[in-house]
Structure 1
Amino acid sequence: MATAKIYYQHSLKTKATHLNSGEVITTDAPKDNNGDGAYFSPTDLAATSLVSCMLTVMGIYANQNKLELGSISCEMTKIMASNPRRIAEIKIDADWKTDLNEASINKLKEIGLNCPVAKSLHPDIKQTINFDISTLS
């Protein structure tokens, strides 16, 4: 069964519908590539998917092992290259507030860094990921 149906709308925009849930994502070409930059660009979504995948697999592991992740928020920066136009680097700065011990933190970081999206991206895409870890209290 298909996962999504994607339509070209107009003016460099697309609309993707997730067939299982009906959720919709609209994309637009970025301002530096003939678009309005009104929505996530396809390359924005690719880079954002890395962060979402990391956090998701960390959450899965935490749930399976009855660990409380705490609070994690991330800022992602996508750096483009030209000739050919492509994602050159994805920078992620994670702010993680947790009371987990060092061994659990290191295991969760390893799981996040080896998530399916991280392993699916082309090896030429540099993944720069920093964790700023502090205690919850």
Structure 2
Amino acid sequence: MSKLIETTYKGRYSSNTKTAADTDPIKVDMKFSPVDLLMSSYASCMLATVDFYARKKDFEVNGSRSELSYEMSAEGGKVGTINVKLFFDKEDYTAEQKEWMENSAKNLCHVGNSLNPAIVKNYEFTYGA
């Protein structure tokens, strides 16, 4: 089943986007580029995906956060590299839990799986942050 995302371009690099899940439009202006929104979507997806799979394994990842930076490709017009830093507030996750968390972030996020495979993704995970 498809999901409807409705965007109205207002001009002067400004748009409003409505989704079925939120009746208040998301307003985008020159403060955020479309690539910034892509990175935000990717970060949110990774954190939510890690949380989803952690809960399936009976543990939580509350207090997690991310920092993403990106570089455009030499050809221009597309992302070439994404540097992902994920921070988790606890240090005492087991090795198995950390493996689940890292695998979920790298391989199970729908947004990440939708990105061009040519994009280089560098991951860094910090525990106890």
Q: Normalization by structure 1: what TM-score?
A: 0.80
1:127 match: 121
SS in 2 for 1:46: helix
Is the 1:62–1:69 Cα contact (8 Å) retained in structure 2? yes
1:96 and 2:88 equivalent?
Answer: yes
1:33 match: none
CA RMSD of aligned residues (A): 1.9
Is the 1:80–1:89 Cα contact (8 Å) retained in structure 2? yes
Q: Where in structure 1 do 4 or more consecutive aligned residues deviate above 4 Å?
A: none
The partner residue of 1:78 within 70, 74, 89 is 70
Is the 1:44–1:78 Cα contact (8 Å) retained in structure 2? no
What residue ranges of structure 2 are gaps of 5+ in the alignment?
Answer: none
1:45 and 2:37 equivalent?
Answer: yes
> Displacement, 1:45?
1.2
1:60 and 2:56 equivalent?
Answer: no
Q: Normalization by structure 2: what TM-score?
A: 0.85
- In structure 2, what is the Cα distance between the partners aligned to 1:100 and 1:70? 12
- In structure 2, what is the Cα distance between the partners aligned to 1:125 and 1:26? 28
What residue ranges of structure 1 are gaps of 5+ in the alignment?
Answer: 29-36
- In structure 1, what is the Cα distance between the partners aligned to 2:3 and 2:100? 34
